[in-house]
């Protein structure tokens, strides 16, 4: 099936080069930023969290949004770093909430040091993010602060979610806050700082939000379809994703009881992630057609993202934004 966001393969090399070059620049700037914080007692922890390799999608989106409307990447770099620091702060705190032992293949910060250190490091990163964003004026500073507030609210929705009370509407409300809010703010602020018109800023804001929703949907799918014996992290910690909600909603009462019982067993730690209980739940979800349902939702938001930037002038940077959606579709 051909989607609106599909591009000719000839654009892939230019896009990959652009991403590689921009990520390298972001990494260098993050390194310079953390080196200036050497006087802080928390410097080792901040450096450990910030320089842990990641996708850097949010600062990349800030920069590409600015460039797509004629802005200069050097002028929005500090703003791009602000969004990466805010994102990193949420990861540090999330690892405590989810009791994760590792992050990106390394010990989670709260495991390498302590929970207290991790909480304070996350708080410090939020403060640093706000400080960087303040350079760009009140409007952008308020947007960054609002996105952080939405993140917290979305995280609270996530930890209070239960299978019996979860609905598709609540799920999308949660991910718009927890996942999409920072992507939306990254694109919006990048366009604003880059000198975009109100129409351009609005269109890029919509792009960021839809991309962020699609990103979470893709993450949900990858968690349930990963190969090997890695199992499902979301199922183990009781995180209720869209495929699970859809499967539970359309299933008969006996199957619902079966899903609930098996999830409770996993969450109580009575079995490991790669045993038959996990496989049974995954089998039920796969047979229900819920993975395909989630794929269609993902496609819809990627198509909306591409449609939202149709008002932008045709430049290579607009092409890169479209290519970002294609890359997300094939990610993993």
Residue 272 has pLDDT above 80, yes or no: no
Name which residue leads in pLDDT, 126 or 163: 126
pLDDT band at 3 (very low <50, low <70, confident <90, very high): very low
Rounded to the nearest angstrom, the gap between the alpha carbon of residue 54 and the centroid of all alpha carbons in its chain is: 11
pLDDT above 50: residue 105: yes
Strand partners, 106: 103
3-state helix, strand, coil in the chain (%, to 5): 75, 0, 25
* Percent of the chain's residues with pLDDT above 70: 93
**Arithmetic mean of pLDDT, 76-95:** 97
For the cut 70, the answer to whether the pLDDT of residue 4 exceeds it is no
pLDDT > 90 in the chain, percent: 79
Residue 126 pLDDT exceeds 90:
yes
State pTM to two decimals: 0.93
What average pLDDT does the chain have? 92
pLDDT at 27 over 70: yes
DSSP 60: H
The pLDDT tens digits of the residues spanning 195-243 come to: 999 999 999 999 999 999 999 999 999 999 876 556 678 887 778 999 9
Q: What is the DSSP string of 265-302?
A: HHHTTSS-TTSHHHHHHHHHHHHHTHHHHHHHHHHHHH
Please identify which residue in the block is written with the tokens 């038959």: 276
Average the pLDDT over 36-54 and give the result: 95
Q: Say what the pLDDT of residue 332 is.
A: 67
CATH fit for domain 9-330, picks 1.10.600.10, 3.40.50.300, 1.10.287.70, 1.10.3720.10: 1.10.600.10
* DSSP H helix total and E strand total for the chain: 16, 2
Q: What is the mean pLDDT of residues 150-179?
A: 93
pLDDT given at position 1: 36
């Amino acid at each position: 099936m051909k989607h609106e966001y599909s591009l000719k393969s000839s654009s892939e090399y230019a896009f990959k080069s652009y991403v590689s070059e921009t990520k390298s620049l972001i990494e260098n700037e993050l390194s310079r930023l953390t080196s200036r914080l050497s006087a802080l007692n928390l410097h080792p922890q901040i450096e450990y969290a910030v320089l842990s390799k990641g996708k850097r999608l949010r600062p990349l989106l800030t920069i590409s949004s600015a460039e797509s409307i004629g802005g200069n990447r050097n002028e929005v770099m500090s703003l791009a770093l602000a969004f990466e620091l805010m994102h990193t702060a949420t990861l540090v705190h999330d690892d405590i909430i989810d009791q994760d032992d590792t992050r990106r293949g390394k010990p989670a910060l709260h495991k390498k040091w302590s929970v207290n250190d991790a909480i304070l490091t996350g708080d410090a990163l939020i403060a640093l993010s706000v400080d960087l964003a303040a350079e760009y004026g009140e409007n952008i500073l308020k947007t960054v602060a609002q996105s952080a507030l939405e993140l917290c609210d979305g995280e609270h929705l996530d930890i209070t979610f239960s299978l019996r009370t979860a609905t598709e509407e609540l799920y999308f409300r949660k991910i718009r806050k927890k996942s999409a809010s920072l992507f939306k703010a990254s694109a919006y602020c990048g366009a604003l700082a880059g000198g975009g018109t109100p129409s351009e800023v609005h269109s890029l804001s919509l792009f960021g939000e839809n991309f962020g929703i699609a990103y979470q949907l893709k993450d949900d799918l990858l968690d349930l379809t990963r190969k090997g014996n890695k199992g499902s992290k979301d199922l183990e910690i009781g995180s209720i994703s869209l495929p699970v909600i859809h499967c539970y909603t359309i299933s008969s009462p006996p199957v619902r009881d079966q899903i609930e019982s098996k999830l409770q067993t996993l969450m109580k730690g009575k079995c490991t992630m790669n045993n038959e209980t996990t496989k049974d739940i995954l089998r039920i979800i796969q047979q229900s057609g819920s993975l395909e349902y989630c794929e269609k939702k993902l496609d819809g938001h990627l198509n909306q993202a591409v449609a939202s930037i149709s008002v932008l002038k045709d430049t290579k940077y607009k092409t890169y934004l479209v290519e970002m959606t294609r890359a997300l579709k094939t990610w993993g």
